[in-house]
Amino acid sequence: MSSVEQGQAVQSAPAYHTNDRHPAPERISGEAPRMQTDNLTVRYGVSTFGIRDVSMPVFDRRITALIGPSGCGKSTFLRALNRMHDLGADIEVSGAAYLDGENIYQPGVDPVVVRRRVGMVFQKPTPFPTKSIYENVCTGLRLAGIRRKSVLDEAVQKALSDAVLWDEVKDRLKSPGGSLSGGQQQRLCIARALAVEPEVLLMDEPTSSLDPNATMRIEQLIQQLKQQVTIVIVTHNMQQAKRVSDYTAFFYVGEMVELAPTPEIFSSPKQPRTAEYLHGTFS
Amino acid sequence: MTDTVLPALRSRTLVPARYRAPGDRVFKTVVVVLASGIIALALAMAVVIYLEAAPTFRAFGYVSFLTETTWDPVAAIHGALPFILGTLLTSFSALLLAVFPALGVAIFTAEYAPRWLAEIINYTVDLLAAIPSVVIGLWGIFNFAPQIRDAVYMPIYMWALEDAEWLVPIIGAPSTYNFVTATLILALMIVPYTVALSRDAIGQVPKEQREAAWALGATRWEVIRNSVLPYARTGIIAGILLSLARALGETMAVAMLIGNRNRLPFTLFGPAATMPSVIINEFREAVEPLHYSSIMAVGFYLFIVTIGINLLASWIQQKLSLTKGTL
Ligand SMILES: Nc1ncnc2c1ncn2[C@@H]1O[C@H](COP(=O)(O)OP(=O)(O)OP(=O)(O)O)[C@@H](O)[C@H]1O
Ligand SMILES: [Mg+2]
């Protein structure tokens, strides 16, 4: 894409806007958004809305937690941020999602490139079971055309170290990814996503299948990653949202009800529905 | 209430389960009897065939029966090598011809084709598998074999006579029913199996595995190569081996199309024979005891070969099971 087109795309990106459904506290508009959605709507088939008119920023090198009851559209929103919905039949996305000011849904954008810049970690650990640990981490790099052994070696070590897995697997890089424990597999998946140095990392309940110990390690890891990457994390665990995130967005039946700095949303939510939900889950 | 119920419950649960439920024991007995019955039946069959074949083994020896290149019941010479070679060559060549197109079709229907097209293709493939082999043989005899001889084999043979004489002993003078024709038909017959089995294996790959590759910025083909095929490989290989087993045992269409020549050497465009084809062609005329027992001996070796392939299949499957070993 030429710089002229990029310039136009930047211009067409809306300023983070507020309407009655999406109240924006003045303070957070001071931060720089890395991503920004504008009336993002995802429909499954004709009648089911996954999310409806969601407009919210994702701030650069901050951790944004998405909370809300089951089925409220958290995963749907997350997957809309790297065009994973392209893969499903009968899924319709409208509205816009800007990455560095460029709408990832505008015609001519290659979703493969979007996914290289916006990585994803899933709820269930999904290592490629027949590939070795080393090759699992390499997958994204090889897809990007990197062949030099020295470059790959270095990237693998860095990604595995960043994912706090290096010490546990450095002597068995050749063994299959499926031979690790659940928590290790999830960290392997994080390493695999980190290896391609994404700008944004989307995590959908990354710790829900793990024990408290592994959960703690991954939470620490997320905190460290914040230095380099912008993170959006879906969680059902309010304590986790409180512990790790800088911002929290509350979703309810397909709408984004409230986005605020995490301490604020937990201590003094502005929206009655947020208060109700938080009250309900804490009592 | 707790006073009366609890002690009773306790005393009952202390009795080991196997003394309590007669249903378990009955079920177990039935299962064991049925399972061992099937094994015993297979063993009995092997033993009977072996005993019937014994005169041949005594007359020629186990090894020379396998290595003798001539089968001439009139002269009382019985060698199984032509049929063993014929079976292995037709089966493996047919498999080689069938596997890649079949995998291509399976991948295309599972990953690329729009749903309506995939359904049409799958339906057609399943239909092809359901055609009785004798019908395919009939079509081959009256239509395919003569046409392909005139349109393909003859020109090649003529060209070889002129320009590549060294090829002539390999391809041989084209006869209507021959090795290549039988192999092509055999390939056609196993394609639906390979397609259906690898399609199922590909269908078993979890959505999460594909999404994991998509999320790394893989293109469609990269998703297939990095995540779908490796995950499905055990099922695909099992499907290929099952197709091979089917090719080894396929009798009717091959017997109708291979031309039935009972001695080596075979040529590509000349007649040949396989183990099933010689059995089906000669069992009715086997009045000489040695001829009869030699047919049994061929059957016995066919039995051994198919069991061997099946053992190999399960060994490979174990070797390649998901968590063991990387490829
Ligand atoms: N593939 C799909 N086909 C049809 N409807 C879907 C599909 N995926 C999600 N939905 C619907 O969209 C809505 C939002 O689902 P989503 O998975 O985004 O919720 P969620 O907030 O992630 O829930 P959970 O916390 O249980 O993971 C739900 O009503 C759900 O039924
Ligand atoms: Mg979800």
Name the residue of chain A whose CA is nearest to B326's CA. A130
Ligand nearest to the CA of A67: 1
Q: Is the CB of A129 under 6 A from ligand 1?
A: no
Percent of chain B predicted with pLDDT > 90? 17
Backbone angles phi, psi at B182, to 5 degrees: -60, -40
Q: Which of A122, A128, A144 sits opposite B211 (nearest CB)?
A: A122
- pLDDT at B10 exceeding the cut of 90: no
| Residue with CA nearest ligand 1 atom 24 | A70
> Sorting pLDDT into bands at 50, 70 and 90, what band is B137?
confident
| Residue with CA nearest ligand 1 atom 16 | A73
Least confident of B49-63, B112-126, B250-264: B250-264
Do A162 and A155 contact (CB within 8 A), yes or no?
no
Residue B14 or residue B36, greater confidence: B36
DSSP type of residue B263:
B
Least confident of A6-10, A30-34, B259-263, B277-281: A6-10
Contacts of B15 (CB under 8 A, 6+ apart): none
| C-beta atoms surrounding A112 within 10 Å | 17
Amino acid at A230: T
The whole model's pTM is what? 0.75
CA of B66 to the centre of ligand 2 (A): 64
DSSP alpha helix (H) spans, chain B:
2-13, 17-20, 22-60, 62-67, 81-107, 115-130, 133-139, 145-148, 154-163, 168-171, 179-203, 207-215, 220-223, 229-249, 252-257, 275-282, 289-319
d(CA A50, nearest CA chain B) in Å:
19
> Sorting pLDDT into bands at 50, 70 and 90, what band is B325?
very low
| CATH of region B45-319, choose from 3.40.50.300, 2.60.370.10, 1.10.3720.10, 1.10.4080.10 | 1.10.3720.10
| Residue with CA nearest ligand 1 atom 4 | A44
The two three-digit tokens of residue A66, written as one number: 């998405």
The two three-digit tokens of residue B229, written as one number: 């095929």
Contacts of B89 (CB under 8 A, 6+ apart): B179, B183, B266, B272
Residues A50 and A72: their CA atoms lie apart, in Å, by 7
CB pairs under 8 A between A and B: 81
User: What pLDDT is recorded for position B41?
Assistant: 92
Do A116 and A172 contact (CB within 8 A), yes or no?
no
Mean pLDDT along residues B30-54: 90
**Counting atoms of ligand 1 from 1, which one is nearest the CA of A42?**
12
User: What pLDDT is recorded for position B27?
Assistant: 85
| C-beta atoms surrounding B25 within 10 Å | 12
CA of B97 to the centre of ligand 1 (A): 45
Residue A201 or residue B315, greater confidence: A201
Do A208 and A34 contact (CB within 8 A), yes or no?
no
| CATH of region A111-198, choose from 3.40.50.300, 3.40.50.2300, 1.10.10.10, 3.40.50.150 | 3.40.50.300
CA of B18 to the centre of ligand 2 (A): 45
- For chain B, the domains span 45-319
- Within this chain, domains A60-73+200-282 and A111-198 share the same CATH topology: yes
Cβ-defined contact of A140 to B216 (cutoff 8 Å): yes
Ligand nearest to the CA of A51: 1
pLDDT digits (tens, 9 = 90+) for B210-228: 999 999 988 889 999 988 9
User: What pLDDT is recorded for position A121?
Assistant: 92
**Counting atoms of ligand 1 from 1, which one is nearest the CA of A73?**
18
Percent of chain B predicted with pLDDT > 70? 91
Q: Is the CB of A47 under 6 A from ligand 1?
A: no
Tell me the average pLDDT of chain B.
Answer: 83
Ligand nearest to the CA of A70: 1
User: What pLDDT is recorded for position A16?
Assistant: 43
Least confident of A15-24, B140-149, B160-169: A15-24
- pLDDT at B272 exceeding the cut of 90: no
Low-confidence residues in chain A, pLDDT < 50: 1-27, 283
Residues B19 and B164: their CA atoms lie apart, in Å, by 80
| Residue with CA nearest ligand 1 atom 18 | A73
Mean pLDDT along residues B125-142: 88
Q: Give A51's strand partners.
A: A42
Q: Which of B230, B233, B323 sits opposite A179 (nearest CB)?
A: B323
Q: Is the CB of A70 under 6 A from ligand 1?
A: yes
3-class secondary structure, A211: coil
| CATH of region A60-73+200-282, choose from 3.40.50.300, 1.10.10.1590, 3.40.50.2000, 3.40.50.10780 | 3.40.50.300
Q: Is the CB of A76 under 6 A from ligand 1?
A: yes
* Residue the block writes with tokens 């070797």: B319
3-class secondary structure, B259: strand
Do A128 and B323 contact (CB within 8 A), yes or no?
no
- For chain A, the domains span 60-73+200-282, 111-198
- pLDDT at B101 exceeding the cut of 70: yes
User: What pLDDT is recorded for position A282?
Assistant: 52
Name the residue of chain B whose CA is nearest to A79's CA. B215
Cβ-defined contact of B213 to A189 (cutoff 8 Å): no
Residues B23 and B100: their CA atoms lie apart, in Å, by 50
User: What pLDDT is recorded for position B161?
Assistant: 80
**Counting atoms of ligand 1 from 1, which one is nearest the CA of A251?**
21
